Structure 1
Amino acid sequence: MTREASKTELTADDIVRIKQSTLIGLNRDARQLPLNSASIRAQFNGQYLSTFKGRGMEFDESRPYQPGDDIRSMDWKVTARTGKAHSKVFREERERPVLLWVDYRQPMFFGTQQHFKSVLAAKISALLAWSTAHHGDRLGGLIFSESSHIELRPSRGKSASLHFIKQLAQHTAWDNSLNTHEHSKSAADALARLQRVNKPGSLIFLISDFRNMDDLSWSQISRLNHHSDIILISIHDPLEQQLPPAGNYKISNGETELNLNTYNKKQRKEYQNRFLNQQLELQNTCRKQGMHYLSVSTIDDVLPTLQQKLGISPIAGKNRVRRK
C-alpha cells in the first residue's frame, strides 16, 4: 500500500502513520536496549565488525611525565614553562552524543505488511532515543524529507527524548503529498546538516532504506565515520525483497491502477537479485569503512531484532551487553 492509497484510512494509526503515544510507550522496552558499552557489535555475514571507537575524550589536567606516557600526550606548553616534562591527562566524556538521522523521504512511505517503512523507522528511532536518555547520554540528530529538515542539537534527559519523539510523530512528511518538488532536498543535504551537529566520538544511527543515495551522500558518510561510530539501519518491505507468487495482482497508488503479472519466473528472479545486490553493496560499503550494518524488515519484531543484531543480551544482569 502507498500513502495516497491510505488517505481515507484515518483510523489506521501505527500502520500508515505513527501515534506519538505509541512512541512514548516504547520507553519501557528501551530499557532492554542498552547502549552503554563500547563493545556493542553489529553482525555481518555471521561475523562481527570492530568494536566502537568509544566516547570522546576531554582534557582533564597536566601532570609530571611518567615513564610509559605516550609522547603524543606531552603538554609542551607546561613543559616549556616549568622546564620539566609534563603529560596531558584525559578523561572519557561522561555524556556521549547519540545522533539519529531519520529518513522520511517518499520511498519510506510504503508498506505491504504490518506498517509503512516510515512507521518502523519512527519506532526504531524512539527506542534509541529512550535508550539514550536511560544511559544519560545526549540525544540529537536530523529528521528529514524532500521538503523539510528538522535539526535537533544534542541535549540530555527525558525532555530531549520527548522532544525528539514529538518531531518524529508530527513531521510534515506524514501529511505532505507525494508530488516531487523541483528543488527537493536530498539525503546529501541532510548529511551535510548532520555534520554540523556532529562531534568526535558520537554514535550515529542512519535509519533509511538508502534509496537514491548519490556519491556525494556516501562521501559525507565517510567523513562522518572518520571520528564517530556509524550504524546503518537499512529498512525494507517484503515486497521490495521479492515479488509475490505467480499470478495477476491489481495495485494502486490511490489515483491510478495497474496489473502486476508475476508469472514470469525469470523476472521474479531478476527482481529479487536487484534487491540482494543493493543490500550486498550496502554491506560491502560498511565493511570497507568499518561501519556497522543492520537490515530490518517491516515484518520483524523490532525490539528483539535490534537486540539480536546489535549483539545485546536482554536477560543477563541489569541489561548487560554481551562482550567478545
Structure 2
Amino acid sequence: MPAQSSAASVATPNTGHELVRPTLEDLIRLSQPAAGLTLARPTVRALQSGQYLSAFKGRGMEFDETRPYAQGDDVRNLDWRVTARTGKPHTKLFREERERPVFLAVDYRSAMFFATRGMFKSAMAARLAALIAWSARRHGDRVGGQIFSEAESVEFKPEHGHRAVLRLLKMLVDQAAPQSAGTPEASLQDALVRLPRHARPGSLVFVFSDFRHLTAAGEASLSRLSRHCDLVLVFIFDPLEQRLPMGPHRFSDGRRDVLLDADARTGDAYERSFRTREERLRDLARRHGMRFVPCRTTDEPFLILQQSCRPSFSRA
C-alpha cells in the first residue's frame, strides 16, 4: 500500500488547528515570547555629514537646532534664513530618528497554504510577522504591513501602539484562506512593485514568502527598496520542497488526492530546481545588502528570528 503524506494532516488533534490557521488569540499570545526578541539595527550604514556613520539607511534624520557655523561643517546644511538675519553663517543640526517604521509583507498566495510537516507556510509567516510586530511595538517602533494573495494586495501604513499591532494580527487571521483569483506570478510581482510606495526610506522591511514565481521585475523592485530600507527576505518552505521522497506517495488537501511516484532521476531534477531557487534568493540578498533567512515549516518561529536578528556590522 502506498505511503501517505497529507498537507491537511497537520490539523490533527495532536498538533492543533492553529498550525493550519492561527487564531487572533494565538497571535496575541506571542506578545510574551516577543519580549525576548531584539530587532537588530541595519547592517549597512549610511555616511552622514561630518563623516559620522548612521545606523539608519536613507535620511532617517530630523531637524534639531541651528548653531553658528564651525570649520568642517557641511555647507549643504547652512541655514540661510538665520544666516541672512544675523549676518553670520549658521548651520542646521540634525539628529537620528530613534523610532523607525517596521513594515511586514506577508505572502498569502495559494501555495503558502501547504505543509507536509510542522505548520502551513502561511501559518509560519503569520507567526513570524506577529512576533516582529510585538517586538517593534515594545521598542516604540511603528508597525505597518502588506498582505497579498492572487486576489488582492492590502496595505496599511505604519502606526504606533497596541492598536496598530492588533490591526495587523486581525488581518493575518481574516485573510488566512486560499484565494485563487489571478496568477501567482502577477500577484507576487504586483505586491513587490507596490512595496516601495508604502515602505518609507529608513524602514525595516520583512518579506515572508516562498518566493515562487519571482520575476526579474520583482527582483528589481526588491533591489530598489534595499537602497533606502533595511530589507529581510524570509524564505519559508516545507521539507518536501527540498527533497522529493522516492516511491509512491499520496498527498491530500482533504478534498482531493494526488498520487506521486518519483524515481531517482525525477528526484534529482526536483532537488536541483529547489537549490536554484534558493541560491537565486541568496545571491540577490548578497548583491544588494539584504538579509536572507531560510525557514522550514518545522522550525520554531521565535528561534529563527532570534538567530537572524542578531546585530551584525558592515563597513560603509
Short-chain TM bin: 0.7 to 0.9
Aligned residues: 300
- Residue 299 of structure 1: SS of its match in structure 2? coil
* Contact persistence 2:151–2:181 (CA under 8 A): no
Structure 2 CA distance for aligned equivalents of residues 36 and 219 of structure 1: 25
Matches within 5 A, 1:175-186: 176=178, 179-181=180-182, 186=187
Structure 1 CA distance for aligned equivalents of residues 302 and 184 of structure 2: 37
* Contact persistence 2:204–2:229 (CA under 8 A): yes
Q: Which moved more, 1:88-97 or 1:117-126?
A: 88-97
1:194 lines up with 2:198 in the alignment: no
- Residue 164 of structure 1: SS of its match in structure 2? helix
* Contact persistence 2:142–2:161 (CA under 8 A): yes
Structure 2 CA distance for aligned equivalents of residues 185 and 9 of structure 1: 34
Distance 1:57 1:134, change over 3 A: same
1:97 lines up with 2:101 in the alignment: yes
- Residue 14 of structure 1: SS of its match in structure 2? helix
Matches within 5 A, 1:97-246: 97-171=101-175, 173-174=176-177, 176=178, 179-181=180-182, 186-244=187-245, 246=246
* Contact persistence 2:233–2:290 (CA under 8 A): yes
Give the structure-2-normalised TM-score: 0.85
Structure 2 CA distance for aligned equivalents of residues 305 and 198 of structure 1: 24
Identity in percent: 44
AA aligned opposite 1:250: R
Partner of 2:47: none
Structure 2 CA distance for aligned equivalents of residues 81 and 288 of structure 1: 48
Partner of 2:68: 64
Distance 1:183 1:168, change over 3 A: closer
Q: Which runs of 5+ in 1 are unaligned?
A: 41-50, 312-320
AA aligned opposite 2:64: D
Partner of 2:261: 261
Structure 2 CA distance for aligned equivalents of residues 108 and 182 of structure 1: 14
Distance 1:253 1:38, change over 3 A: closer
Residue 190 of structure 1: CA displacement? 1.9
Structure 1 CA distance for aligned equivalents of residues 25 and 129 of structure 2: 14
1:26 lines up with 2:63 in the alignment: no
- Residue 145 of structure 2: SS of its match in structure 1? strand
Residue deviations 1:154-203, cap 9 Å, x none? Answer: 111112111111111111x41x55x4437996123223333222221111
AA aligned opposite 1:275: F
Give the structure-1-normalised TM-score: 0.83
Structure 2 CA distance for aligned equivalents of residues 277 and 188 of structure 1: 19
Q: Which runs of 5+ in 2 are unaligned?
A: 45-54
Residue 300 of structure 1: CA displacement? 0.7
Q: Which moved more, 1:252-261 or 1:287-296?
A: 252-261
Residue 150 of structure 1: CA displacement? 2.2
Structure 2 CA distance for aligned equivalents of residues 277 and 201 of structure 1: 31
Structure 1 CA distance for aligned equivalents of residues 41 and 216 of structure 2: 32
Structure 2 CA distance for aligned equivalents of residues 260 and 310 of structure 1: 38
- Residue 98 of structure 1: SS of its match in structure 2? strand
Distance 1:2 1:229, change over 3 A: farther
Distance 1:152 1:116, change over 3 A: same
* Contact persistence 2:150–2:183 (CA under 8 A): no
Partner of 2:50: none
Residue 31 of structure 1: CA displacement? 1.1
Q: Which moved more, 1:97-106 or 1:181-190?
A: 181-190
Structure 2 CA distance for aligned equivalents of residues 52 and 242 of structure 1: 39
1:53 lines up with 2:52 in the alignment: no
Distance 1:93 1:280, change over 3 A: same
Partner of 2:52: none
Distance 1:199 1:146, change over 3 A: same
* Contact persistence 1:36–1:135 (CA under 8 A): no
AA aligned opposite 1:74: L
Residue deviations 1:104-149, cap 9 Å, x none? Answer: 0111111110211000000000000000100001001111111132
